[in-house]
Structure 1
Amino acid sequence: MPPTIPQVHALADQMLAIERAMRDAEFWHDEVPSPAAMASRTPFCADTLKFSEWLQFVFIPKMRALIEDNAALPGASAIAPLAEEALEERAGKQALVDELRRFDRLITGNESA
């Protein structure tokens, strides 16, 4: 089922907040990984990408495309717990995890727009 207009707006805003948190915590990457690295069949491209690279180059573009196409969204998300484990400790990490937690709640419908 396609998302509602308020959900689309909330998710679009949340994707911007995730990007901002990644930049603030210096998890944003300047170089795009190779096509081969991004083509990994391992969940989250864990064998070829850092988790932050996966967020930036796979997750964010895919979610933006779904939002822009008004396509059906995943029924559940649990990215925040994975981020807590996978991201290295640095200033701003918790802010990014918090933004990902908000995304998880928006996807599952546990947080209104």
Structure 2
Amino acid sequence: MRDELTLLLHDLERELRLQDRWQPGEPPAAALRSTEPFAVDVLDFDQWLQWILLPRMHELLLRQLPLPDNCAMQPMAEEFFAADDSQGQRIVALLAAIDALLTQHHGGIN
């Protein structure tokens, strides 16, 4: 399960880069400490993916820590990418796969 998640996270990063959604400069430190879901008060959703989700998930995998057992990123992604063409839908599909994988395995260390 962890190997599959690692591949999905790499695919997500690759897709963000291919779509020119990957940003070279890190946002202000305060933005990375937001307590709002998806940091909606300070970041766009694609920024949240890059600066919060991907680093945290990679850290959990690297350190063999328990993974989240209930993810629901797909609805937020659908809302954020609603006006986009099929490119945004590829990101939605990847997040749906990540949601399903984490929810199915209930965050256990597999």
Deviations 1:23-78 (A, max 9, x none): 12222112210101111121111011111101000000000101111111111111
CA positional deviation for 1:90? 4.3
Matched, 1:98 2:93: yes
Matched, 1:22 2:31: no
Distance 1:97 1:54 in 2: 14
Distance 1:70 1:21 in 2: 25
Matched, 1:109 2:104: yes
Pairs aligned (count) = 104
- Code of the residue aligned with 2:78 in structure 1: it is E
Distance 1:90 1:53 in 2: 19
Describe the shift of the 1:38–1:90 C-alpha distance in structure 2 as closer, same or farther (beyond 3 A).
farther
Equivalent residue of 1:72, what SS?
A: coil
Q: TM-score, normalised by structure 2?
A: 0.87
Runs of 4+ in 1 over 4 A off after TM superposition: none
Matched, 1:51 2:49: no
Q: TM-score, normalised by structure 1?
A: 0.85
List gaps (5 residues or longer) in structure 1.
1-6
CA positional deviation for 1:86? 1.8
Matched, 1:72 2:63: no
